Chains A and B, each alone.
Chain A
Amino acid sequence: MSVVVLCAALPGLDPLTGSEVLVAQNVAFAVIGLTMVAAALRMVTTTNVVHAALYLVIVLAGAAGLFILLGAEFVAVTQVLVYIGAIVVLFLFGIMLTRGSYGTDEDVGRERHLMAALVGVLVLGVTAGSLVDTFRDAELARSAPSTAAQIGDSIFGQYIVPFEAISVLLLAALIGAVVVARSD
């Protein structure tokens, strides 16, 4: 069902859109998008925890590709460095320290899966409906990619207070994680 939604959203297949159609970018988007959706579906259905972490890597790398496609180079690089480089490694350490706990999802009730899938599909349906209704054929502007200098100016100018708050939050989370996980 998700594949149908994605294909319907591809403008390159529609001769009525009129404006310039960027075939190469749309092909890249289709490949990345289908890969991401397939990997995400495998991630939430596989019973092997390590495989789930590796599928998560595929989804995160696909998101980095989308950011490049959107001209957000700095966010893409940060995505690869922080998410794939640090967070996934953290997950793998978590799996290792909890010995994987393999097979805990085997005997989960069928009804639970059904209700969860229902909620997911409903969230998707409502969101997709409102998005299609609001941004029916809004085109992305073809502008120059945003540079790291622009983002730096923005962070250290207009958004300096949220930036400092994030810094304190990271420090607090670090100390909190150490205190919680310490064995005494």
Chain B
Amino acid sequence: MLLNQFLLLSAVLFGIGVYGVLARRNGVLVLMSIELILNAVNINLVSFAAFREAVPGEVFALFVVAVAAAEVGVGLAMVLLLYRNRRNIDLTEIDLMRG
């Protein structure tokens, strides 16, 4: 197997995730797209770990999983608060701090 086939697949997923973050208005869907991006990064880390035959890449992939879990917890709490205050979770309508 080539290293590049994994890296290119990860790049494709990253691009799709970037599109999702930018195009979506629903807060939960934006968080899901961020998960897609983090997952693409994880594939990169594990591919390089296999390429270099070194363990640290996998260790950092595990760290990324933990950080993603923390991020989703806080992010969903914020979306929940948003819903409670405004009755919808459309991110384009949050313009309180617009100059």
Residues of B within 8 A of A116 (CB): 18-19, 22-23
- B77 to nearest A CB, angstroms? 4
Partner of B62, one of A78, A91, A123: A78
Check if A123 sits within 8 Å of B15, measured CB to CB: yes
Residues of A within 8 A of B66 (CB): 82, 166, 169-170
Interface residues of B toward A: which range? Answer: 35 or more
Q: State how many residues of chain A have any CB contact under 8 Å with chain B.
A: 93
Residues of A within 8 A of B19 (CB): 44, 116-117, 119-120
Check if A159 sits within 8 Å of B59, measured CB to CB: yes
Check if A97 sits within 8 Å of B15, measured CB to CB: no
A-facing mask of B27-45, CB < 8 A → 1, else 0?
Answer: 1110111011001001100
A83's nearest neighbour on chain B, judged by CB, is: B65
Residues of B within 8 A of A143 (CB): 50, 53
Residues of A within 8 A of B6 (CB): 29, 66, 70, 140
**A87–B68 CA distance with the chains assembled, in angstroms:** 9
Main secondary structure of the interface of B (DSSP, over half): helix
Check if A98 sits within 8 Å of B72, measured CB to CB: no
Within 8 A of A (CB), among B28-82: 28-29, 31-33, 35-36, 39, 42-43, 46-47, 49-51, 53, 55-56, 58-59, 61-63, 65-74, 76-81
Given pairs A101-B90, A112-B22, A138-B2, 16 additional interface contacts (CB within 8 A): A26-B5, A37-B16, A49-B28, A63-B43, A74-B62, A75-B42, A83-B35, A104-B88, A105-B25, A116-B18, A116-B22, A120-B15, A120-B18, A151-B59, A154-B56, A166-B67
Residue pairs across A and B with Cβ atoms less than 8 A apart, 28 shown, are: A36-B13, A37-B13, A41-B16, A44-B29, A52-B32, A60-B35, A79-B42, A82-B66, A86-B69, A115-B22, A116-B19, A116-B22, A117-B19, A119-B18, A119-B22, A135-B3, A137-B2, A138-B51, A140-B50, A140-B51, A141-B50, A150-B55, A151-B59, A154-B55, A159-B59, A173-B71, A176-B74, A181-B80
Task: Give the B-binding residues of A (Cβ under 8 A).
Answer: 2, 5-6, 9-11, 22, 25-26, 29, 33, 36-37, 40-41, 43-44, 49, 52-53, 56, 59-60, 63, 66-67, 69-72, 74-75, 78-79, 82-83, 86-87, 90-91, 93-95, 97-99, 101, 104-105, 108, 112-113, 115-117, 119-121, 123-124, 127-128, 131-132, 135-141, 143, 146, 150-151, 154-155, 158-159, 162-163, 166, 169-170, 172-174, 176-178, 180-181, 183
